[in-house]
A and B are shown apart, each in its own frame.
Chain A
């Protein structure tokens, strides 16, 4: 079979999740937009000091976390596809997405402990304030998302199918993709932008 693309045209004009959810999604995008521009101002006006702290970041760990969240997104998207097709793999994909999300948290904790161990903490420098606070606010999103994913996983039917509301499953997936999207931007701005 050629994959699931045959069902995409049916989605035309469909609001992913439910309309109300987009208040949260766009509200978050808007506020993170303001936060990103705030960082850009600091980067542009105080570049030399930012650079001194920024070179201490392990960009490889940032890249690893990007790959974890992108793959987690792929998994939850496939949980939604499996649910639309009535397949029993929904639960498996939800747990896979959850496990990858937990991996993200693990990498983040290792990264934070490394910096704190080196004496770079929340207010050691303006860059580390941005780093810890932005990744911290993002981590709050990750933890809320993991809570939602766990709840979804427990609500699957015993055979692993999704019998609950599609809007709930889809909406939760959209939130999880938002967490991914915000991380992609944080990775670009905080880790890669020199």
Chain B
């Protein structure tokens, strides 16, 4: 297998992250997110002001969900290599990854809907923009399953020299546990567990940033030492 192609695949991860960040921050101006307490008029005014940003940002989000696959595929190849026998948990991880990217696509679509007809009523615009915010934060629920499954596979590895480092397995478990609070944003409009709060937004966002950075480092070093060709018993 050509290591160059593998290395290139890893960079689909940061590319995904970059598109995401460009969409949310300079284009839609929802990083940090607007308060869920905002009135329909305030949210609609925000969407109308950045209408083009919302539309282009929507395209970038949908594009991100389409170009991330080499990154996901390479993670899965390593997990498949680690898991012996029937690759049950690798399959679980693969399915949840897939479903997670569908939510990214729908998130872009919801923001597109919010900005598509600026002459629509304030309530309608806010409803679509709110849906976009939910699709941004709530998919922490499937994320938790995916991270815990990934962590369990890596920690199962009984090779003398593990295919992926064990600390990265523990990091996945940490990420999984701390993404979970994103699940509750539907309950709150204010406070640490609202979608702009410290526990439901900032902690999962920082934890996710740590995860995606660590994943690149771990994958690149595994490619460097040809771990996919590893023949340890």
Contact = CB atoms under 8 A, between A and B. Distances in A.
Tell me, yes or no, whether A and B come into direct contact in the complex with CB atoms closer than 8 A. yes
Interface of A: 18-21, 23-24, 27-28, 31, 34-35, 38, 122-123, 126, 129-130, 133, 137, 140-141, 144
Interface stretch (B28-36, B48-56, B99-107, B170-178): B170-178
28 contacts: A19-B167, A20-B167, A20-B168, A21-B170, A23-B170, A23-B171, A24-B170, A24-B171, A24-B173, A27-B178, A28-B174, A28-B177, A28-B178, A31-B178, A34-B198, A34-B203, A35-B203, A38-B198, A122-B187, A123-B187, A126-B191, A129-B188, A129-B193, A133-B184, A137-B177, A137-B181, A140-B177, A144-B177
B171 A133 contact: no
B80 interface: no
Given A133-B184, A133-B199, 14 more contacts: A19-B167, A20-B169, A23-B174, A24-B170, A24-B174, A27-B178, A27-B207, A28-B174, A35-B192, A123-B187, A129-B192, A129-B193, A137-B177, A137-B180
A140 B181 CA distance: 11
A129 B191 contact: yes
A20 B170 contact: yes
Contacts of B165: 20
Contact of B180 (A20, A122, A129, A140): A140
A81 B192 CA distance: 41
Contacts of A38: 192, 198-199
A144 B174 CA distance: 12
Contacts of B170: 20-21, 23-24
A126 B191 CA distance: 8
Closest 5 CB pairs of A and B: A20-B167, A20-B166, A24-B170, A27-B174, A24-B174
Interface residues of B, number: 23
A19 B166 CA distance: 9
Contacts of A130: 192
Contact of A35 (B168, B184, B199): B199
Interface in B122-180: 165-171, 173-174, 177-178, 180
A154 to B, nearest CB: 15
A35 B181 CA distance: 12
A38 B184 CA distance: 17
Contacts of A129: 188, 191-193
A38 B201 CA distance: 14
B21 to A, nearest CB: 22
A42 to B, nearest CB: 8
Contacts of B199: 35, 38, 133
Contacts of A126: 191
